[in-house]
Structure 1
Amino acid sequence: MRPILNFLILSIINTALKLDVSNALEVMNMQCSDEDIDWQFNEICEPYNSCIITNINSTNVYTVDRTLHEFKCLIIIDSFVHEIPSNIFMTLKSNITNLHANNVSISQLRRISFPFAQKLEHVDLSWNAIYELHEMFFYDAVNLVTLNLSHNLIGEISPNVFEKLDSLQILDLSYNQISTIPFDLFQPLRNLAYLNLRNNRFQLKFGIFPRNIRMLDLSFNNLEIQQKFKIFSLLEKLETLLLHGNRIENIHQSIYDSNLRFLGLSENLFPCNILADVILTGKTHDMRIIAEHIVKNTSNIYGIKCIE
């Protein structure tokens, strides 16, 4: 009798747990909201071609309204989700080219977060809590043009996470916790023109940047650089380099032989005489030294702080 009794008790417990789970995971229909919001999205997304989803959360299970896939832009706001709902892109009929899911508490991405998302071109997942980028996350989103992952908690990055993103032109990884950049991370991105790595904590190394990059932001990374300025001279298409808020005291002469046209150097550790030489030499090479924050009432040259 005891084995039968134990079996019955376990059955009752399992049934109760299932009921609790089914009650917690209420099935709801994910559909476009009729609420009025202040429009603040990019020029591609207009009210007439956008579906705005509000008030979804991780405690519910959602079915996707078929009309959602007829829109060009999908915008998730005022929600609390740990990951992108898995069934949003589970159809070849989706016309979604833009996904905005900012500040909705996303902490992780699925192995393939965007299945059948060949039409997806612009993804903005900024201001979330994503802490890692593993291989296969963007495997099916092969036509991405812009990817914004700024203001997250990203520390770990797989070397192959961007392997399929040959069309990517703009990548924003600013305001994260990146301490190590795999050498091959950016190499598959043959069309990458803009790379923002501001406010991280990695060390600068030769070979980590793609040769085709045109604008590179490495501000506020506590970099000293010195002789490693040669890295930037080897980037033949680089036109804008932002190095604000680092620990730079001088720059290497090789930088003047590059195609650089704008060099951001404010909030560094330049002695005033060195900074004056940098600015004057830059002028003779058609290179403009720019400041992000103009300082006053202290030693400066053209608003760039320096040390007497």
Structure 2
Amino acid sequence: MKKENRSRMVYLLPFFCLSNMTYAQQLNQYYLTSTESIQENKISLKKYDSNIYLVKDADGLFKAKSALTINGLSTTGGVTGELSELQNFEIQIDSSQIANIEDYNTNFKINSSNDSHEMCKKINFKFQSNSIVSEINNLNLTTATSCQYNIVDIDDKKISEFTVLLNYTFRDWCSYFDSSNEAFKTARAISQTCDLQKVTKSSLNLYGLKISDLSPITGFVNLRTLNLDNNNISYLPHGIFDKLSNLNWLILGNNYLRTIPKDAFRNLSNLETIWLMENRISNLPLGTFDHSPNLSWISLYNNELSYLDPELFKNVTNLQSIELSNNNFTFFPLNLSHFKELISFEINDNFIREIPENAFDENTKLVNLGFSGNNIKVLPSGIFSKLPNLVFLNVSGNNLNFLSKGLFDQLISLESLNISQNPLQCLPKDIFKYNTKIENRSEQSTINYCVEE
């Protein structure tokens, strides 16, 4: 359908131009008589760098720049502000969809979306040749600002959109005129002396510095580890991590995050570890981790999650550690069958009532497993039957009043089992087949075994 409509658009437009109607009238008539085509035909935007740095050029005028080489490779220009490391911002478009590219500005407009910040209205975008370029009108930022722009036709119907992050470079934030500005404080936390030598660093540790604004970090393209733990960060602007494609570790624990934008990690294809624990996150949008297939460790404990979309980790198959403790789950939240490399899974201190019998059948490499502090009444008899490598098991603090005979028989590597704080009256005889490896069986000094009939 898409191919047919696109070709129809290309071949019909030259015909329109031969009639007596104006081009705008021709195009308008086409749209009115082809509603389905309106929905299918869009202006295709080629891949672009979403980070716009507002930098003064040689004439002292602010221009929209991208921290890219002429060949499209990332530079450290988002830190240094050096014009030699920056290119004029533009978005290339697929000009094959409409025959007369020179008429774009006549028949299409680019507007900031209604929910965009007022600052977004102060930068104008227009079509130039086969690109979208910008003009800046007296724009003074106080923080990096996410803006969405809609491309609309002559009937104000949206046919495409793009999002950018308006920002200053680290150097400009570090010399900002207002010392009470939060972005300025972050820049000075990175370097009190605005040392530009930090651009080559592979690690940035901002632990416990009470920063709240991440605007100055976007240009540190060489980072592999970014530690933002124990700060006052409450939101992530769209595109704030887009330039940090080399990141392996991202630590965002102990902050005040309530939501994670769907595309927050869209360029972090090398990300291996992400810590989001001890925030206030109540929802993770579908697609959050789609572009981070190399994730091996994700920590989400101590948040406000009650549900995870079944497809949330569909592109992440190499996870080795998942931490979901101290949330609000009432049901077992994940199908773990495709996590063949999983070594540790903890979902302690939630409100889960039952664990599926086959929950861990495909996780034969599990070493650590914990679901203490829940409301589980029964452990299915075969739930641990395929975990020969399990060493640590914690099922304490539940509502277990009996354990079935043979429940732990296949746990040949088990060394530590915690069954305390359960209303267990007695235990089946010989339930601990590998008795010498068991620790912390119960708070009781002795074990009461059930009388066999």
Q: Which residue of 2 aligns with 1:43?
A: none
2:322 is aligned, of 150, 153, 171, to 171
Change (3 A) 1:33 1:225: same
Indicate the RMSD between aligned Cα atoms, in angstroms: 3.5
CA contact (8 A) 1:162 1:185 kept: no
Q: Which residue of 2 aligns with 1:127?
A: 278
Superposition map of 1:266-285 within 5 A? 266-271=420-425, 274-275=426-427, 281-282=431-432, 284=434
Change (3 A) 1:118 1:26: closer
Unpaired runs of at least 5, structure 1: 1-13, 37-46
Q: 2:441 aligned with 1:288, yes or no?
A: no
Q: Which residue of 1 aligns with 2:129?
A: none
Displacement of 1:157 in angstroms is 0.9
Change (3 A) 1:282 1:52: same
Secondary structure at the residue paired with 2:369? strand
Change (3 A) 1:256 1:104: closer
2:445 is aligned, of 297, 301, 308, to 301
* Amino acid in the other structure paired with 1:84: L
Q: Which residue of 2 aligns with 1:224?
A: 377
Equivalent pairs, count: 264
Q: Which residue of 2 aligns with 1:33?
A: 189
Q: 2:107 aligned with 1:18, yes or no?
A: no
Displacement of 1:195 in angstroms is 0.3
1-structure distance, mates of 2:295, 2:274: 8
Change (3 A) 1:249 1:152: same
Superposition map of 1:1-308 within 5 A? 18=118, 26-27=143-144, 29=173, 31=187, 33-34=189-190, 49-52=203-206, 54-57=209-212, 62=215, 64-66=217-219, 68-77=220-229, 79-91=231-243, 94-182=245-333, 185-202=335-352, 203-209=354-360, 210-212=362-364, 213-226=366-379, 228-260=380-412, 261=414, 262-271=416-425, 274-275=426-427, 281-282=431-432, 284=434, 286-290=436-440, 300-301=444-445
Change (3 A) 1:178 1:145: same
Secondary structure at the residue paired with 2:277? coil
Change (3 A) 1:205 1:49: same
TM-score by length of 2: 0.51
2-structure distance, mates of 1:156, 1:241: 24
Displacement of 1:225 in angstroms is 1.1
CA contact (8 A) 1:211 1:237 kept: no
Change (3 A) 1:238 1:19: closer
CA contact (8 A) 2:398 2:422 kept: yes
Secondary structure at the residue paired with 1:231? coil
* Amino acid in the other structure paired with 1:233: S
Secondary structure at the residue paired with 2:384? helix
Q: Which residue of 2 aligns with 1:5?
A: none
* Amino acid in the other structure paired with 1:266: S
Displacement of 1:287 in angstroms is 4.5
Deviations 1:111-149, CA, capped at 9 Å, x for gaps: 232112122111111110111233211111111111000
2-structure distance, mates of 1:144, 1:122: 6
CA contact (8 A) 1:267 1:305 kept: no
Change (3 A) 1:283 1:111: same
2-structure distance, mates of 1:123, 1:103: 13
* Amino acid in the other structure paired with 2:335: L
